[in-house]
Amino acid sequence: MCQLLGINTSTPTDIRSPFQVFSRRGGDTDCHAHGWGICMYDGLNNTPQSYHDSDPAAESALVKSLLRSDVPVETMNMVSHIRYATRGEVKLENVHPFQRELWGVQWCFAHNGDVSCFDKAHFSPDRLYNPMGATDSEAIFCAILNALGARFDTLPSKSVLHDAIASLCDEI
């Protein structure tokens, strides 16, 4: 199974130390060597910065570049994923977190585990969101966004959005 690291704080926090420990699990101290990704929100306009690599995180030049910086890598909200491939090849389009725009907001999504009962066959070009890779995780993310986009014309309140997502997860 893949592994996730998330940070949600009330003040900007330098994520280099926890991310360094986490990234070593991507092929050095653990077997999760099938790519990695990170999505960090800047806290100003909720525009995420995303980095992805299909190389093992422990060997990735991009990880080394992020961690080598003399400038703190600060964020208030971050999700990172190291992949152990169970579905889909080891290639960049299958690396989490996935990112899409809905209602003018950039959403990031990462998932841990298999959802074997989810049927990806209902995706078609007329849907706004279709998976670019071959993972069940991205297919679920796209299905959630398609359902939310069909149900709400604009971004609903947090409580309404929470309830809608909970209901969709029950269906999945």
131: Cβ contacts below 8 Å, ≥ 6 apart: 120, 123, 138, 139, 142
- Is residue 99 predicted with pLDDT exceeding 90? yes
Domain of 45, in residue numbers: 3-171
142 is catalytic: no
Q: Which of 25-39, 42-56, 101-115, 129-143 has the lowest mean pLDDT?
A: 42-56
pLDDT at position 68: 86
Give the rounded percent of residues in the chain with a pLDDT score beyond 70: 93
- Is residue 123 predicted with pLDDT exceeding 70? no
pLDDT at position 122: 55
Residue 69 confidence class, pLDDT cut points 50, 70, 90 = confident
Task: Tell me what the pLDDT averaged over the chain comes to.
Answer: 90
- Is residue 167 predicted with pLDDT exceeding 70? yes
Intra-chain end-to-end CA distance of the chain, in Å: 19
pLDDT at position 120: 60
Q: Which of 36-50, 77-91, 108-122, 154-168 has the lowest mean pLDDT?
A: 108-122
Angle between helices 61-68 and 16-24 (to 10 degrees): 160
Comparing CA positions, the residue from 125, 54, 121, 65 lying closest to residue 92 is 54
* CATH number of the domain bearing residue 67: 3.60.20.10
Question: How many domains is the chain partitioned into structurally?
Answer: 1
Could you say which of 2, 39, 108, 142 is catalytic?
2
